[in-house]
Structure formats: structure tokens, C-alpha cells
Amino acid sequence: MTEGKNLPHSSADVPFRSKELRKQSLIQHTGLVGVIDEGTKTIGFSIYTTPDFKEIAAHRVELSVITPQDGWYEQDPLEMMASINKCAEEAIKQLPEQGFSASDIATVGITNQRETTIVWDAVTGKPLYNALLWKDIRTSTTVEQIVAKVQDPNHFRSSTGLPISTYFSALKIRWLRDNVPEVRQAIRERRCKAGTVDTWIVWNLTNGALHITDVTNASRTLLMNLETQSWDPVLLKTFGIKEDMLPSIHSCSEVFGKITSERSPLRGMTLSGIMGNQQASLLGQMCVKPGQTKNTYRSGCFLLCNTGDKPVFSRHGLLTTVAYKLGPQAPTIYAIEGAVSVAGHALSWLQTKVRILPDSRDAEKYAEMVPTSGDVYFVPAFTGLYAPYWKQNARGIIIGLTQFTRKNHIVRAALESICFQTRDILECMHQECGYEINKLHADGKLTTNNLLMQLQADTIGLPVFRSQLMDSTAFGAAMCAAQAEGVNLCQFEPEKRYYENVHYDTFLATTTDVERKERYGKWKRAVERSLGWVIKQKKTREHTEENYRMLSSLPASIFLISSFAMLVHSLSAAGH
């Protein structure tokens, strides 16, 4: 293993290699940037200095997830806002120790979990239902209905870059319309508003004055046309969604307005940045040139590969998405993306559900107790498989168990499953975009696991560069907000400058091509065995005939006895 070594020329290009260049590339202006980071599991508020983007204050809290049924995932929108206000309040309290105050915060950016959908009453401002999370699969039947209507799950890929899947907001809005009477009534009365989490946050921070989203979040709804970057009338009609329910679409970086909510400690501050969390991570990792690729390791994994100013439409199940648009007149930069639904969540499952692992944070320690996974493979398809398979009928399996298998082997297999799923997507990305991917940038909470990073390098045969910034997502959102026209805390020129504040630990592959090929082949076989597990039973003529044959095979004596009993019962009833 090679770790902790900083290779100055191996990272992506970012501003500020030298103090002299820093002075040239940045407008000399003192100001802080606040970032609301709303993730699936945690909500945080971070404060950065400019122009060096050093995090000087932060506070984070856990966000509870509601699971009313298997495969259903919800969150309370009101808890989201209360948590944001709490985090902002606590982070601001830390500023005097650093010689700053709340009045030094010049602007605020937002980064959020994508696809997660909220509907609310425009009159009362109250949510009409809990937020449906991105990984919620209750819309499976809705997906089947829409696919039956258009005859192809990839029917809209050429306009949206996305397949018809439970993953995206359009299906969630349609399900809410079809299944929640309060939502249906609010739509009829034209007081229902809908949006992704960023839209909900901005609505609340501005007391309903702004109903907006940005292109990165809008590109994940299955409702935005990638070419026009506006809501597509054909898509709206297909999903039965009224355009007046939806927010207006903006660039990622511009002055949107002021925070006016009396409940918010950020009242009076400017809002100037919005990005989906994975796009913000791509920017924070400085993957700003075509072919540069990052993976964020959290409860799920998200790989994005920058494809430049032209969208690449996948033939292998990857998603085409907007990477960023840093201003109304700035070019739109695109990416292709693959999502691993279950990464860190597999370790949590081992801890909380099957109790193989006492604490998911100890996964590295337990996995290192064995030299290999003992030929055990774990496919954590708890709610199906996402890119590049897109199989909702897959379910999780642990295969290769022997009498010698210990819990340590299963924990190690869980870590390896994250690496194999990452390789699945990287293989497709290379085929799709044509760029040579010669390294992988890594960030996210799970990257503190050194064994996982080494296993990743060994699985893909490429160097893994782990960002020493604990959270590239918030860092990317901070840069996005700070460089907005009218804020001008920094000037973003990645093609000309280099960052000196982004450093990496490197992990180099220690396996051979033959070893990687053999193990990856077995992973593929394990995936095949997980497919087609969910089979919906329907009452058919065949079932009816089968039941008839079963009944007709009963002994004649039983038939005669039952017939006699029925005759006695009918005569008794007639007597009464």
C-alpha cells in the first residue's frame, strides 16, 4: 500500500498554485461563504474563508429516515429545515473564536441529495407528504405503467439522458398524485408545489418568494430537456404533471435573492449557489476537464466522469447529467454518472440487521483480520441494482460460503462489493466517453477506511487519489457560490490556474491483471445469480387449472363425505 504521499501533479487542475498567481486570479475581497449541505443521512452547515477556502466552522446532525415498508424511504421535510437552522446557528457560534462574526458571511450556497422529492401546500407552506428519498422503490408499479405506455424504458434517454426508473423525481410526483388524496386535491386547487430538496430549502429560506432549482438538480427529475434546459412539455404530459407545480430552472451560480425567513440564523444573507451533491463533489475534486472522474463513497456510491460541453448518451445504462453551469451565460458542462445504491449502507446492515459487525466504523479492523474474503462474494442489491444493470428485480445475495467462512470474510466481502460495483461503472464509462481514465478521485465518509481504498486500487488496477478535504461536496458548493457574478469572492479559471489547497493521499494497485480478471469474473457470476429474484405472482388461467387438477385429485371418499355434509347443512337450514 502507498498512502499519505502527495503527488503535486497527479490531481486535477485548480487555481492558486502560488501566492503570486493567487493574487492575480482572485479579486481581493474579504468575506466568508456558508454552505448548507443536506445529505441523505446528515445535514450540515460549513463556513469557509475566501480566497483560500479554509473551513473555519461547521456543525452537522443526523437526519432520521422513515421506512414504513420494505423499499420505502421517507424523511420529514420539517425536520430538514429545523436541522438546517440548528446547524447554521451552531456553526455561527464558532466564528468569534476565529475572529469573525455572522456579518462576515457574504453569501450562502446549497448542496443537496438529488432526486428526493417533496410536495407542499403553497398557501400554508406545509408539506403534503413526507419527502420520498432517491432510493425509494414504491413507484415500481408506476414505472411499469409508464413503460407500457411508451414501450421502452429508454424512450426519453435522448432528451433527458435518463431511463424511466424509480430513481427519478417525475415518478415520485406521479405516485404522490395517484396515491395521496391531499396531494390530488391541492393539485386540483392549483396550490400544490413540488421540487427537489434544494427547492424546498430555498422556498422556506425566502418565505415562499423563490420557487427555483438549478440545472444539476433539474437534470435528475426526468422532466428537463438537456438541450433546452427547460421543462419538456412531452414529459410533463406523459407523467401528468402541471408545469406550474414546478420551480423555475437557473444556473448553479448566480445571485438568486436574499434569505428572509425569521426562523433562519442566515436572515439577510445572499443566496448565490445551488448544486446537487454529487456535482458539487465533482467540482470540489476539481474534475474540470473531460475524462476526469470521481467517486463519492457514502451510504451509496456515485461516480461522475466529466465529458465537457457536449452530453454523452450512454448505451450501457449510465446516466447523462449536467455537471455544472457556473453562471447564466456560462457554458453547460456535462457528465456521465453511475450510481451504486448500496455502499456504506451494506456495512450498516451488517451492524444493525444481522449483527455481524458490532460497529460499521470498525469494518476495516474486522476485515483486516483475514487476508482475503475467502472466495465469498456479497451482492448488496437490497432494492435492486442500479447502473449499469438497472434491474429492479435483483435482490441481495452472499455466495461462496463454506464451513470455514467467518464473519470477517463477510465484512471484507462487503468492502469488496463496493469496489466491484465501482469497477462495473468505470468499465462502462471508458467505453462510453472514449477518454482514458488513468486515475480515480475519491471522497466521502467511507474513504477514511484505508483498506477500502487499497482494495479499490487493487480491483480497478488504477491509482486512487483520496482527497484530504473531508468533504469535497461542501467545498465545491462554496466555490460555486463564491464565484457568482455580483458576489465575486473568487474568479474560477480552472483552465489557467492550479489549486494548492487540494491535496491527495495515493493508493497504488498491488494486484496483477490475471488476479483482477479472475476475481472480477467471479463477481460477475455472483451478480447474475442475484437477478430475477422478485417474481410477481398473478392469477392466471394456468393457476386456476392447476388448482382444479389438485382438487380433482382428492380421494373420492373425501368428496362424498364433504357432499353429504353440505346436504345435511342445507336441509337443516331449510327446516329453520
Note the pLDDT tens digit of each residue in 423-445: 999 999 988 888 888 899 999 88
Asked if 453 and 291 touch (Cβ cutoff 8 Å), the reply is no
**Cell numbers found for residue 133:** 428519498
Residues in the chain: 576
Element (H, E) at 490: none
Asked if 48 and 122 touch (Cβ cutoff 8 Å), the reply is no
Instruction: Tell me if residue 390 falls in helix, strand or coil.
Output: coil
Q: What is the pLDDT of residue 549?
A: 46
Q: What is the pLDDT of residue 482?
A: 95
- Residue 537: how many other CB atoms lie within 10 Å: 6
Average pLDDT over residues 454-472: 91
Whether the bond between 311 and the residue before it is cis, its omega within 30 degrees of 0, is no
**Cell numbers found for residue 246:** 414546478
Q: Is the pLDDT of residue 247 over 70?
A: yes
Q: Is the pLDDT of residue 470 over 90?
A: no
Q: What is the pLDDT of residue 315?
A: 85
Q: What is the pLDDT of residue 69?
A: 92
Asked if 116 and 38 touch (Cβ cutoff 8 Å), the reply is no
Whether the bond between 265 and the residue before it is cis, its omega within 30 degrees of 0, is no
Q: Is the pLDDT of residue 494 over 70?
A: no
Average pLDDT over residues 205-221: 97
Average pLDDT over residues 564-574: 52
Beta strands at 253-258 and 270-276: parallel, antiparallel or unpaired: antiparallel
- State pLDDT tens for residues 389-402: 878 899 999 999 99
- State pLDDT tens for residues 329-378: 999 999 999 888 899 999 999 999 999 999 988 999 999 999 999 999 99
Q: What is the pLDDT of residue 433?
A: 82
Which of 26-35, 160-169, 454-463 comes out lowest in average pLDDT? 26-35
Average pLDDT, the chain: 87
Cα–Cα distance measured from residue 379 to residue 397, given in angstroms and rounded to the nearest whole number: 5
Q: Is the pLDDT of residue 175 over 70?
A: yes
- Find where cell 477518454 sits: 435
Q: Is the pLDDT of residue 285 over 50?
A: yes
Q: Is the pLDDT of residue 10 over 60?
A: no
Element (H, E) at 256: strand 253-258
β partners of residue 324: 333
Cα–Cα distance measured from residue 466 to residue 453, given in angstroms and rounded to the nearest whole number: 8
Q: Is the pLDDT of residue 567 over 80?
A: no
Element (H, E) at 548: helix 541-552
**Cell numbers found for residue 424:** 462495473
- Find where cell 468505470 sits: 426
Q: What is the pLDDT of residue 251?
A: 98
Q: Among 194, 207, 203, which residue's Cα sits nearest to residue 244? A: 194
Beta strands at 192-196 and 117-121: parallel, antiparallel or unpaired: antiparallel
Which of 66-75, 224-233, 295-304 comes out lowest in average pLDDT? 295-304
Which residues touch 202 (CB under 8 Å, ≥6 apart)?
Answer: 110, 210, 211, 212, 256, 271, 274
β partners of residue 378: 398
Q: What is the pLDDT of residue 432?
A: 85
- Residue 566: how many other CB atoms lie within 10 Å: 10
Give the dihedral of Cα atoms 490, 491, 494, 496; nearest 10 deg.
-120
Ranges of H-type helices in 151-298:
157-160, 169-179, 181-188, 197-205, 215-218, 233-239, 277-284
Asked if 147 and 164 touch (Cβ cutoff 8 Å), the reply is yes
Q: What is the pLDDT of residue 570?
A: 53
Which of 212-221, 331-340, 540-549 comes out lowest in average pLDDT? 540-549
Kindly indicate the confidence band of residue 17, based on its pLDDT and cuts at 50, 70 and 90.
very low
Kindly indicate the confidence band of residue 575, based on its pLDDT and cuts at 50, 70 and 90.
low
Q: What is the pLDDT of residue 340?
A: 86
List, in sequence order, every beta strand (DSSP E) within 21-140: 31-38, 42-50, 55-62, 74-75, 105-112, 117-121, 131-132
Q: What is the pLDDT of residue 4?
A: 38
Average pLDDT over residues 530-540: 75
Q: What is the pLDDT of residue 383?
A: 84
- Find where cell 368428496 sits: 559
**Cell numbers found for residue 329:** 451565460
Average pLDDT over residues 19-33: 54
Kindly indicate the confidence band of residue 500, based on its pLDDT and cuts at 50, 70 and 90.
low
Look up residue 71 and give its amino acid: G
Q: Is the pLDDT of residue 169 over 60?
A: yes
Kindly indicate the confidence band of residue 11, based on its pLDDT and cuts at 50, 70 and 90.
very low
